[in-house]
Chains A and B, each alone.
Chain A
Amino acid sequence: MSYVATMARINPAEVERIADLARLELAPDEVERMTAELEAILGYVAALEQLDTTGVEPTLFARLVATPMRDDVAAPPLDPEAAVANAPERSGSAFVVPKVLEEDES
């Protein structure tokens, strides 16, 4: 692959796009502040660019190699009452959420 990794500067529009992906709502002054802070942090991490990592295997885990597996044995499920006991809103044993409106679908 000839893809060259580059670390970009971040701007308020980008911060808003990211906030949207993360389902966070930022007030205009928050966007401004976050942009500045993230820019400082990204500026700091840009130091990694100097490091040549060609051919270096990424480490996901320090020591572990293969995921363990369990036998296919079903255990009794959680009591439905316990399953929904923490729900902010419920109806019987179902969780209740506000309706999805068209404006949500983007």
Chain B
Amino acid sequence: MAGDRFATAVALRADLDAGRVSSLTLVEAALARAEAAAGLGAFVHLQPERAHADAIESDQRRARGDLRSPLDGIPVAIKDLMVQLGEPCTCASRILEGFVAPYQGTAAAKLREAGAVIVGRTNMDEFAMGSSNEHSIYGVARNPWDPARTPGGSSGGSAAAVAAGIVPIAFGSDTGGSIRQPASHCGVVGMKPSYGRVSRYGLVAFASSLDQIGPFARTASDCALALAAIAGHDAADSTSLPEAVPDYAAALNGDVSGLVIGLPREYFAEGADPAVVECVREAVAELERAGAKTREVSLPHTSYAIATYYLIATAEASSNLARYDGVRFGRRAQARTLGEMYRRTRSEGFGAEVKRRILLGTYVLSAGYYDAYYRKAMQVRTLLRRDFEEAFRGCDLIATPTAPEVAFRIGEKTADPLKMYLSDIYTVSANLAGIPGLSLPCGFVNGLPVGLQLLGRALDEATLLRVADAYQRRTSWHEQHPTPSWERPT
């Protein structure tokens, strides 16, 4: 029996262990829900054959009693920029049409090692560039709470898949908020680990110094299991941290007493929807009731974060996306000469937002502007990093809104790129500083979920998970689910 579509991985594991259900049944149910939810646009590719085979193997392991991890046999989804040997990987871009990966990415390899069953690949903004999942060749992904609204982005499909109860766990990537912001908008838990905590080998690069893979789940405890499956040093990624991974599940002791939560003045000042801020303040108050202390902190360079982020991210992206040239893989435009091939392939293959960012990044790095833009941004990055170092001298973690508002309507911001960029105002700093961030549901405004963002010291994911778990033990926001209005009758 597939049972409750909103069952957590922890609950499903208990069902599997008790023999109440098989992995194959769970996987088939997840695939069926994904099919039925086509209208949500959460998935861009399902992989039933591989998933079936993997589920059967997992059931055999369980019968033999040699399970690989708590996720063994659990269906999961991955964002369409995580490379998986023998499967397509398009980054929701026309330019990668038809591409099938000839190698295994580290995250996919680790998920297999953990026994998790990947059922499909999720929708996203093209090359992870966007905050609404509207820039995808597969069409928009929709918010399960209100299909007229975006799920956020760029990992919109992963957030929607978890919120809609298709899979208990999905993975995305976060370069400036691309996990946390959609998690907030879809009412799920989403975590961006510390830079270097999860290998980027096999993560198609947007901005190399900012990108991290991270999990989505409906609870902090599922999130802990999911992070444990993919975290750890990888010799194939030079920027991977050679640090031991703590036992995240064991860190979830429900105890937050004595923890000091910093509330950055600049994040509560203005600009955010007051109703959103109210939810966040109430969530902080709940943590205080659980024994945490709060104090105001300052992150004085916050107002420069978006500008800094867009200079660094686009500069890196302009170079990272140079490899899409129609020579070795992907879609090539008809052309007579080499120059024509490059220009047409790239102009037809990339969407408007990607082109905009490539142009900005090329400009930022081009002769005469490097010092004014790129070097300057790298210096401001130092200041932002120091802001956090300073703040963490006086607190153990920081709490803020994840996004300034709840999920916006599809089409609402597409006409004004800058306005869209400002959706990431509370999230980009964590990427620039390389620290972990987590968003968890903390209430509703007009029936739409609000996210509480927790930021931690570098490598201290455990504290964020512990606090999020403690909060969820005391509240029930995470137990509220959207009505599956998107399902086609079958």
Residues from chain A with Cβ under 8 Å of B102 in the complex: 78, 82-83, 85-86
* A24 B355 Cβ-Cβ under 8 A: yes
Separation of A82 and B385 alpha carbons in the complex (Å): 43
Separation of A29 and B252 alpha carbons in the complex (Å): 56
* B339 A103 Cβ-Cβ under 8 A: yes
Residues from chain B with Cβ under 8 Å of A62 in the complex: 195-196, 385, 433-435, 458
Q: Which of A66-90 contact B (CB under 8 A)?
A: 67-68, 70, 78, 82-89
* B350 A24 Cβ-Cβ under 8 A: yes
Looking at the assembled complex, report how far the CB atom of A103 sits from the nearest CB atom of chain B, in whole angstroms: 7
* B359 A99 Cβ-Cβ under 8 A: no
Separation of A47 and B373 alpha carbons in the complex (Å): 11
Separation of A84 and B209 alpha carbons in the complex (Å): 29
* B338 A98 Cβ-Cβ under 8 A: yes
Residue of B nearest to A56 (CB): B379
* B209 A47 Cβ-Cβ under 8 A: no
* B380 A51 Cβ-Cβ under 8 A: yes
B160 at the interface (CB under 8 A from A): no
Separation of A64 and B208 alpha carbons in the complex (Å): 14
Residues from chain B with Cβ under 8 Å of A25 in the complex: 343-344, 346-347
* A59 B340 Cβ-Cβ under 8 A: no
* B359 A24 Cβ-Cβ under 8 A: yes
- Contact digits for A85-106, partner B, Cβ 8 Å, 1 yes 0 no: 1111100000101111101100
Looking at the assembled complex, report how far the CB atom of B387 sits from the nearest CB atom of chain A, in whole angstroms: 12
B304 contact from A5, A15, A38, A51, Cβ within 8 A: A51
A2 at the interface (CB under 8 A from B): no
Separation of A88 and B336 alpha carbons in the complex (Å): 14
Known: A7-B373, A61-B434, A64-B241. A70 touches B235 (CB 8 A): yes
B378 at the interface (CB under 8 A from A): yes
* A98 B241 Cβ-Cβ under 8 A: no
* A86 B330 Cβ-Cβ under 8 A: yes
Separation of A65 and B209 alpha carbons in the complex (Å): 13
A10, A22, A26, A42: most-surrounded residue (chain B CB, <10 A)? A22
* A23 B379 Cβ-Cβ under 8 A: no
Residue of A nearest to B339 (CB): A104
Looking at the assembled complex, report how far the CB atom of A63 sits from the nearest CB atom of chain B, in whole angstroms: 6
A58 at the interface (CB under 8 A from B): yes
Residue of A nearest to B371 (CB): A5
Residue of A nearest to B240 (CB): A68
Looking at the assembled complex, report how far the CB atom of A15 sits from the nearest CB atom of chain B, in whole angstroms: 7
* A48 B308 Cβ-Cβ under 8 A: yes
Residues from chain A with Cβ under 8 Å of B304 in the complex: 47-48, 51
* B341 A48 Cβ-Cβ under 8 A: no
Separation of A43 and B385 alpha carbons in the complex (Å): 24
- Contact digits for A1-33, partner B, Cβ 8 Å, 1 yes 0 no: 001011110100011001101111110000000
B325 at the interface (CB under 8 A from A): yes
* A45 B311 Cβ-Cβ under 8 A: yes
Q: Is the interface of A mostly helix, strand, loop or mixed?
A: loop
Separation of A63 and B196 alpha carbons in the complex (Å): 9
Residue of B nearest to A37 (CB): B417
* B196 A88 Cβ-Cβ under 8 A: no
Looking at the assembled complex, report how far the CB atom of A2 sits from the nearest CB atom of chain B, in whole angstroms: 12
Residues from chain B with Cβ under 8 Å of A18 in the complex: 359, 362-363, 366
Q: How large is the interface on B (under 10, 10 to 19, 20 to 34, 35 or more residues)?
A: 35 or more
Separation of A44 and B377 alpha carbons in the complex (Å): 13
Looking at the assembled complex, report how far the CB atom of A64 sits from the nearest CB atom of chain B, in whole angstroms: 6
- Contact digits for B226-254, partner A, Cβ 8 Å, 1 yes 0 no: 00000000010011011000000000000
* A64 B362 Cβ-Cβ under 8 A: no
Looking at the assembled complex, report how far the CB atom of B311 sits from the nearest CB atom of chain A, in whole angstroms: 6
B304, B372, B373, B421: most-surrounded residue (chain A CB, <10 A)? B372
* A57 B366 Cβ-Cβ under 8 A: no
Residues from chain A with Cβ under 8 Å of B308 in the complex: 48
* B235 A37 Cβ-Cβ under 8 A: no
B235 contact from A23, A56, A64, A68, Cβ within 8 A: A68
Looking at the assembled complex, report how far the CB atom of A39 sits from the nearest CB atom of chain B, in whole angstroms: 10
Looking at the assembled complex, report how far the CB atom of B83 sits from the nearest CB atom of chain A, in whole angstroms: 12
* B376 A53 Cβ-Cβ under 8 A: yes
- Contact digits for B201-222, partner A, Cβ 8 Å, 1 yes 0 no: 0000000010000000000000
A41 contact from B99, B239, B310, Cβ within 8 A: B310
- Contact digits for B363-406, partner A, Cβ 8 Å, 1 yes 0 no: 10010010111011111111101000000000000000000000
Residue of A nearest to B331 (CB): A88
Separation of A10 and B369 alpha carbons in the complex (Å): 12
A88 contact from B306, B332, B371, Cβ within 8 A: B332
Residue of B nearest to A69 (CB): B238
Separation of A104 and B357 alpha carbons in the complex (Å): 25
B378 contact from A3, A19, A58, A97, Cβ within 8 A: A58
Known: A41-B360, A45-B311. A68 touches B238 (CB 8 A): yes
Residues from chain B with Cβ under 8 Å of A99 in the complex: 337-338
Separation of A60 and B363 alpha carbons in the complex (Å): 19
Known: A3-B371, A5-B376. A58 touches B382 (CB 8 A): yes
- List 12 interface pairs A-B (beta carbons < 8 Å), by A numbering: A5-B376, A18-B363, A19-B359, A25-B344, A26-B347, A48-B304, A56-B380, A58-B378, A68-B238, A87-B328, A88-B326, A88-B329
With A24-B350, A41-B418, A98-B337 known, 17 other A-B pairs at CB within 8 A are A7-B373, A21-B366, A25-B347, A53-B383, A59-B382, A62-B434, A82-B102, A88-B326, A88-B332, A89-B332, A97-B338, A98-B341, A99-B337, A99-B338, A100-B337, A100-B339, A104-B337
